[in-house]
Amino acid sequence: MKEHHRIKLMTLKQQLDLFEQQIALYLSKMQRICIEHFSEDVANLRSIPGVSTISAMIIIAETGGDMSAFENSGKFTGWTGLRPRNDESAGKFKSTATTKGNKHLRAIIVQVGWGAARSKGSYFMDKFHKLAMRKSRKKALVAIGRKILVIIWHILNEKTLYNPSLVHIYDPEKVEHKIKYHERDIEKAKKLMV
């Protein structure tokens, strides 16, 4: 190895050491702030499958831990940019890409979504596999991320732990509409048989 290669490697190693020191400094500062002011919120967020301590700290850093700025979970997902658009005109779909939003929070939510989709026995894993059968894996991941954002809004708004039994697997209104639809079909079939 030539001398100028050694110098280049030495300076790159020094830069890497500096970056690692800065990361450790920022992480310790974030942990201290979260322990002092947001310890309950971090613990509540960590109860969601796929959310680590670092991702919980980043979520709190990006949102401020205060959901009163958002009227409902839909406004929160829109602010994040994980609400897909629905541009349809004359039966033609133009774009279903996600909207612009907080790119830092969106990136961490996608990572949390991957973690949740790989958590064995969780609702998110089942939902991801169901969605990935009919959509691409990336679109299914965005859908999982949106569901996690809705749960994050509720957890930070209500100051509660994640409760998997409260996740609506089926929307009660949709189930009721389907039941009524099938009941009407049964009545029509009975009329035809008489």
How far apart are alpha carbons 124 and 106 in whole angstroms?
Answer: 17
Q: Tell the residue number behind the tokens 């700290």, with chain if given.
A: 57
Average pLDDT over residues 79-99: 69
How far apart are alpha carbons 109 and 1 in whole angstroms?
Answer: 44
User: How far is C-alpha 26 from the geometric centre of its chain's CA atoms?
Assistant: 24
56 within 8 A of 167, measured Cβ to Cβ: no
Our CA angle for 111, 41, 58, nearest 5°, is 35
Per residue in 21-79, pLDDT tens?
999 999 999 999 989 999 999 999 999 999 999 999 999 999 888 888 888 888 888 88
Identify any residues that bridge with 87 across adjacent strands, giving them in sequence order.
Answer: 95
Residues in the chain: 194
From residue 94, how far is each of 20, 88, 89, 97 by CA, in Å? 44, 6, 8, 9
Per residue in 91-142, pLDDT tens?
676 666 666 777 888 899 999 999 999 988 888 888 898 888 988 888 888 8
Amino acid of residue 150: V
From residue 41, how far is each of 1, 26, 50, 154, 175 by CA, in Å? 52, 19, 16, 12, 33
Torsion of CA 128, 133, 136, 137, to 10 degrees: 30
Domain ranges in the chain are 1-37, 39-168
Residue 119: other Cβ atoms inside 10 A:
14
Confidence of residue 84 (pLDDT cuts 50, 70, 90): low
Average pLDDT over residues 157-179: 79
State the alpha helices, DSSP H only, in the chain: 3-37, 39-46, 53-63, 73-80, 103-117, 123-134, 137-158, 172-193
How far apart are alpha carbons 161 and 49 in whole angstroms?
Answer: 12
